[in-house]
Amino acid sequence: MLAQPEGGDSTPDSAWHLFRNRMDRAICFRMDRLGDLDIFARVAATGSMSQAARDLGLSPPVISKRIKRLEERLGTRLLQRTTRQIALTEAGRGFHERVLAILASVEEAENWVSQRAMLARGPLRVSAPTTFGRLHVAPHLVRFLERYPDISLDLSLSDSFVDVVGDGFDVAIRIADLQDTSLVARKLAPNHRVLCAAPSYLARHGRPETLADLARHALLVHNADHWRLEGPEGPVSVPVASRVATNSSEVIREAVIAGLGVALRSTWDVGPELRAGNLIPVLPRYRASHRVAIYAVYPSRRHLPQRTRVFIDFLLDLYGPVPSWDQGLVLPA
């Protein structure tokens, strides 16, 4: 329960360990005494040790033993037992009034802590992919922070998979196949990825009609040597060699819009260009794996801070069943 100070002797018989063990026992002893008070109050309220045992999930012998221990510690009888009922003694009545005040104070303290835990407040650390965070998180932060003025937000944009726990993030947005993740993953939105090219490129080089035709086209790829697609024949893997080498997905986006080749892009990234006709889908029967989606990941469902919960709910409400970037598009089934 108590941390050892830096530089302290860590041997079992050290003064520090003796002090810590005594403190731990003292804390446990006080918690146990509080439990005795709760048992006494329940017996006084019900007038029955059997009923108090049922209410508290304990056995009648345990209740009797705890009451006896309390009376021995106080040096006076609190309950008058007869064959038909249990009544408070004069000392028991005075003690009961004071015990109720103590238990009420404890309950008030617990409620205060619980209510604070339910308040959306405090620092919130969020990680998101660079482009997605810039396009679909950052523009909406004003509305989120106006709704929750007691939250301060730290948004870190990175295309690397951060260590959510080790790096101290409350939640991370990830676009991936997270079937095997050890974290809690909540799906925020689908991630449709389609093959596309600019009208100017297709006018110069023609439209590919089969996957084999891609070998004759300029392909634009970021951090991959294969496109893993799903089509009429099931999953397929297409080897790709990019005409443009870059560590930036945004460079590939600009290159495909400029007419340099064919790219596999997410609709959250190029939805407006597809709707406007600035990009044209090619090989529409093929798409990237449907298992890849947009998720919020966080360490545990237990004791999830309210600030994290409301942020995830905000994104779910923002994106909705059909995200704005997919609206108006004809997508593969």
Q: Is position 201 within any domain?
A: yes
The domain spanning residue 321 has which CATH number?
Answer: 3.40.190.10
279 in a structural domain: yes
User: How many domains does the structure of the chain reveal?
Assistant: 3
Whole-angstrom distance, CA of residue 279 vs CA of residue 257:
7
Do 242 and 284 belong to one domain? Answer: yes
**Residue 208 and residue 70 share a domain:** no
**In this structure, are residues 169 and 126 in contact, taking their beta carbons and an 8 Å threshold?**
yes
- Average pLDDT value for residue range 294-301: 85
User: Do 154 and 186 have their domain in common?
Assistant: yes
DSSP result, 30-46: HHHHHHHHHHHHHHHHH
Q: Do 24 and 87 share a domain, yes or no?
A: yes
In a domain, 8, yes or no: no
User: Do 157 and 63 sit in the same domain of this protein?
Assistant: no
Alpha-helical segments (H) within 57-89: 60-74
> What is the DSSP-derived secondary structure letter of residue 5?
P
Mean pLDDT for the stretch of residues 252-276: 94
Whole-structure pTM over 0.75, yes or no? no
- Confirm whether 151 is domain-assigned: yes
Q: What is the pLDDT of residues 159-200, one digit of tens each?
A: 888 888 888 899 999 998 876 566 788 899 999 999 999 999
Q: Which residues pair with 193 in a beta bridge?
A: 266
Question: Burial of 75 by CB count in 10 Å (0-12 exposed, 13-18 middle, 19+ buried)?
Answer: exposed
Going by pLDDT thresholds of 50, 70 and 90, the confidence category of residue 113 is: low
75 & 163 share domain: no
- What domain range is 43 assigned to? 15-117
155 and 232 assigned to the same domain:
no
Whether 29 and 65 map to the same domain: the answer is yes
Residues 203 and 76 in one domain: no
User: Considering 117, 138, 167, which residue would you say is the last residue of a domain?
Assistant: 117
| 66-101 pLDDT per residue, tens | 888 888 888 988 888 776 778 888 888 888 888 877
